[in-house]
């Protein structure tokens, strides 16, 4: 979402000198912490503050040319270039893969929570596009690579 904070002001004002990528990065870190009243404990890498860190692999096309790394991060980088993530000192992602969690279970919980929320809202949700999984598999089995076909 940082790219929106950087790109929308340029588009809305028809000016290229507004919405600097550095400003968008600060909005996502320091300014976000300040808005939440948490600037004394999070929002920047400083001694005594909690540190959540994301390390990116810059050997992907979206990082090149590497003339302006913050611009590449804000305007081009996606989740595919995330190499490692540490939250509160605990590594949650290594070599681009989430560990300490069963991803299929997390997706199930997210699906269950969204269905419950939709049911409580009384709204009808429909799609003209069907969900299709490989024969004999549901979404969880497709993610795990398991098959119910015997």
91 occurs within a structural domain? yes
Quote the CA–CA distance of 150 and 148 in Å, as a whole number.
6
Place 100 in a pLDDT band, splitting at 50, 70 and 90: confident
Decide: pTM greater than 0.75: no
> Over 60: is that where the pLDDT of 149 sits?
no
107 and 94 part of one domain: no
> Over 50: is that where the pLDDT of 31 sits?
yes
Helix (H, G, I), strand (E, B) or coil at 87: strand
> Over 80: is that where the pLDDT of 81 sits?
yes
**Closest residue by Cα to residue 24 from 65, 64, 73:** 73
Domain end among 98, 119, 136: 98
Structural domain boundaries, residue 132: 103-144
Both tokens assigned to 65: 């040319």
Quote the CA–CA distance of 68 and 66 in Å, as a whole number.
6
Least confident of 28-32, 71-75, 144-148: 144-148
């Amino acid at each position: 979402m940082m790219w929106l904070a950087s790109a929308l002001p340029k588009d809305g004002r028809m000016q290229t000198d507004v919405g600097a990528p550095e400003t968008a990065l600060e909005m996502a870190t320091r300014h976000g912490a300040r808005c939440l009243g948490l600037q004394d404990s999070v929002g920047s890498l400083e001694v005594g503050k909690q540190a959540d860190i994301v390390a990116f692999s810059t050997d992907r096309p979206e990082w090149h040319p590497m003339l302006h790394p913050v611009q590449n991060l804000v305007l081009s980088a996606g989740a595919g270039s995330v190499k490692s993530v540490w939250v509160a000192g605990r590594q949650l992602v290594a070599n681009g893969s989430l560990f300490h969690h069963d991803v299929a279970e997390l997706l199930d919980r997210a699906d269950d929570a969204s269905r419950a929320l939709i049911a409580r809202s009384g709204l009808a949700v429909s799609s003209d596009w069907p969900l299709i999984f490989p024969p004999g598999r549901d979404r969880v089995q497709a993610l795990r690579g398991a098959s119910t076909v015997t």
